[in-house]
Structure 1
């Protein structure tokens, strides 16, 4: 036993962890494995239910045709959102959850809720046509955007460490909406094919071709555009410092404002398609395309802001000797990062390129960890996480540091001393 309360007892007789007889155990319902299995089973049941409903609606032939055509834009959209998230990539398990939620859970909720609402409106008004129009313009946007936004909310609540700003919100919302649009396109394209089969329509004038042009060629970004507004609301909420005034209120209002904007844009889009083809084209050209361009600019600006965060936070570690002087500037350039990996691959082979890639990832995480601490969002284990990241960097610096220094010089992103300092009589910047 220790002589003083501040001393540590001697536990030299305790066996190693693998031989412990008494191990700390979590309650069964708190097991990560149980939660993962439950979530996967829930999404699988939703998948079976929604695919069965779509197949019943479209028929087997229509389902297969719709599936083959609807899958075409999915890889392109996923690649676009993944490219946007290159600075600090989100874990694939989060992205796959968002995609599966959008494709199965949210579409199941939307189909059931929309069908119930349209039937109820039709029974009250005794007018099926107006019920369909009202359902498309008033009910569907609310139901669908709420169902898709639920995935972003779950990631915001339970994967908070991976949800750091607007880019993460855009990416998670984009993957969710891509999955939703995929399943919805199967339904629309399958129904169009079935109608063409009934009337014997073929060629350019068929319903299938028209639906394909509108949903796959002209507007594959429609659902991601709507839900991105919800994602931006959560993303800006993630930036709020812990000491912000009215933080709890703003944490609710920002996502809610994004959700309401998503519903409004979705309602405008559906309403234009319901009323007149010219109204659809006008909304598409005068509203949807400019808003899409604005959000694209905002997404790129947000990514550049992330790179500026790296160049602003990492010099502190360079001053302390953990990084070389030019590394923060190289790590804040996507081109320099790629050059560093290429240099390592040529010099050290594939393991070298992998080590540099891991070094870049750890350094980026370290920069954002320090940035969040500066905003008052430091986790209780900040010091431990910082030390762990520095440990990983130190293990790889022998390979990564020369590669990043080379990349910094090759791209002109090198540290230069200020011109106004006195260099002991000789100043190369003085004419």
Structure 2
């Protein structure tokens, strides 16, 4: 039980942070919970299926080739995980009437992503212990959050734009890009010091995420002022 608390604590902190950043019109807690559960269950299932498909076509796991690890990071892990989250936001949250301002894209994308991260983190922490929980609290969990914020920023814009398809896919591709970059530098750990690239990519994603949150907050504020 203690390990589960360690695994879920950073997820709860991210959720609370985003919830408080949604200053002008809070989303229904029921929809937030459903989004979280869809991420925790459905997203994991979709990802597992996609992993299986890729594993049949591209059995890469044990390879040390830089190119193969690149494919693994971007086209297997990054694509599979972010697509699974994207589909839930696209097919469930974005269609809901409560999704009525651009910032909602960030809120729902983060909720789905934190659901995914919660399930994933429980498995890792139960297997490897408190030290893994501490490490992932400052790496994997913030990484999942930033990928979601970047995706949600564009999906929030898409809801109220005539270029919905382009903006939605932009959000997906940006999440895959940063997720892939983060994992790629960790996968090629046989190159000394290359892991630093993962934290550089995470740092850039964090900066962009803060800007995305601020920009959508400003849009929400001006919309309220106009009303």
TM over 0.5: yes
Name the TM-score class by shorter chain: 0.7 to 0.9
Q: Distance in 2 between matches of 1:157 and 1:215?
A: 29
Is the aligned partner of 1:227 residue 2:151? no
Aligned to 2:193: 278
Aligned to 1:174: 110
Q: Secondary structure at the match of 2:58?
A: helix
How does the TM-score come out when normalised to structure 2?
0.86
Q: Distance in 1 between matches of 2:205 and 2:73?
A: 21
Aligned to 2:121: 185
Q: Secondary structure at the match of 2:141?
A: coil
Aligned to 2:17: 80
The answer as to whether partners of 2:93 and 2:108 remain within 8 angstroms in 1 is: no
Please give the residue correspondences for 1:65-214 in structure 2 after superposition, counting only pairs within 5 Å.
Answer: 66-122=3-59, 128-130=62-64, 133=69, 134-159=71-96, 161-193=97-129, 209=131, 211-214=132-135
Query: Which structure carries more relative contact order (alpha carbon 8 Å, separation 6+)?
Result: 2
Contiguous gaps of at least 5 residues in structure 1: 1-63, 194-207, 241-246, 314-431
Contiguous gaps of at least 5 residues in structure 2: none
Q: Distance in 1 between matches of 2:14 and 2:92?
A: 20
Is the aligned partner of 1:261 residue 2:165? no
Could you report, residue by residue, the CA deviation over 1:153-199 in whole angstroms, capped at 9, with x for unpaired residues? Answer: 1235530x222333100000011111111111112222324xxxxxx
Task: Tell me the C-alpha RMSD between the 2 structures.
Answer: 2.4
Return the index of the structure with the highest Cα Rg: 1
Could you report, residue by residue, the CA deviation over 1:273-296 in whole angstroms, capped at 9, with x for unpaired residues? Answer: 101273222331x33213212321
Q: Secondary structure at the match of 2:138?
A: helix
User: Which structure shows the bigger proportion of residues in helix conformation?
Assistant: 2
Is the aligned partner of 1:289 residue 2:203? yes
Distance 1:77 1:157, change over 3 A: closer
Equivalent residue pairs, number: 222
State which of 201, 212, 221 in structure 2 corresponds to 1:298. Answer: 212
